[in-house]
Chain A
Amino acid sequence: MEKIQTTKTENIRVLLEMYFNGDSTLQDEETLRNYFSRNDIDPEFKQYSPLFNYFSQEKGAMDTHTKDTHTKVKHIFTKKMFFSSFSLSAAAALAIFTFILWPDQQKGVEMMIGGERINNEQLAISKTDEQLKKISSMMGIVDQSTSSLKKLSNVEKSLSIISKK
């Protein structure tokens, strides 16, 4: 047991020497920090205890700070993301309304020939009227026919009165 202890003390001494010479690795420093965080430190090394405990505390505080900052940043980022995505959606909706839907409402007449848009409102209006006139003139024939039928029924009525007499 004492041999193991001696080996450990020797090991720590070597690591400390390496540390002060600037030859220690990150893993060596971690071993030292773990060693000095314990209660059973060799009295020979007690003087170095505040140094490594300080580093350990600092590291812990740094980790917590980083974690907090990260959470804070993440929170702000999420908030910003929400607002930016909201404003982006609003802007997109406005753009769609302004450039796609609104001009259609404003444009009175649209004309296409063979799939190509023709920007000639007067031509479109006159062609529409031409078609509407054609319909009403055809419907005039129906009107004439129905009025003829009415006249015929009137004649029939008169004839029926005569025949009754």
Chain B
Amino acid sequence: MKKVILILLAAVCPLLANAQSKQISEIFDKYEKKKHVESIVVTPSLLGFMLGGEDKEAKDLMSKIKEIRILNVPTNAIENGVPLRQILKDELDKLIIKEQFARAVKVNDGDELLEVYISQNDKGALLFLASSTAEFAVISIFGKIDKEVINSVMNGSLKLK
């Protein structure tokens, strides 16, 4: 019986770990089809190409990041009389509370606001919510989120060009 429970737990745990990133992906999938919304998906093959090479640090980073997704909602995008950015923000806030994402940083610089959330498990997502008067952008980095990945984004070493 114990064995059965252990096998079941082993089977269910990865599913739970991926649940948070899956739910974020579902939000991205839903909003990327909407009018005026801009969506970008950076797949591992491009990340490997751009970050690869001989640099060991870049290779390490590459092995951890699975995908980067960006969703850009301009302020003028309206749905049923409500700004789409507000609808998206509300949906993300609900998910953040439900899935117990930890808020790492909140920076307010004039009209710009940046919030950074990290999923509870390391195989999850790093979520950036960047808000300005012109747009609301959601950037999500999926993969094994650790200190190295967070630092690479913070210090600007994660770039594609």
Contacts and interface: CB of A to CB of B under 8 A. Distances in A.
A59 B48 CA distance: 76
Nearest to A121: B46
Given A108-B46, A112-B32, A131 B137 contact: yes
Interface string B20-40: 000000000000111111111
B109 interface: yes
Contacts of A125: 46, 50, 160-161
Interface string A106-147: 111111111100000000111111011111111101110000
B133 to A, nearest CB: 14
A104 interface: yes
B40 A139 contact: no
B73 to A, nearest CB: 11
B142 to A, nearest CB: 14
Contacts of A111: 38-41
Nearest to A108: B46
Q: Name the interface size band of chain B.
A: 35 or more
Contacts of B112: 138
Interface of A is mostly: helix
A111 to B, nearest CB: 5
B62 interface: no
A47 interface: no
**Chain B at the A interface: mostly helix, strand, loop or mixed?**
mixed
Interface residues of A, number: 30
B156 interface: yes
Nearest to A138: B114
Interface string B49-68: 11000000000000000001
Nearest to B155: A136
A39 interface: no
A105 interface: yes
B139 interface: yes
Contacts of B156: 132-133, 136-137
Interface in B76-135: 105, 107, 109, 112, 114, 128, 130
A132 B158 CA distance: 7
A110 B154 contact: no
Nearest to B157: A136
B16 interface: no
Given A127-B72, A139-B114, 11 more contacts: A105-B44, A107-B45, A110-B41, A112-B37, A114-B36, A115-B35, A127-B40, A132-B159, A134-B130, A136-B153, A139-B154
4 pairs of A and B residues whose beta carbons are closest in the complex: A108-B46, A136-B156, A115-B33, A138-B114
29 contacts: A105-B44, A106-B45, A108-B42, A108-B47, A108-B49, A109-B40, A109-B41, A109-B42, A110-B39, A110-B41, A110-B43, A111-B39, A112-B32, A112-B37, A112-B39, A114-B37, A125-B50, A127-B38, A128-B40, A129-B160, A131-B137, A133-B156, A135-B130, A135-B139, A135-B153, A136-B155, A136-B156, A139-B153, A143-B154
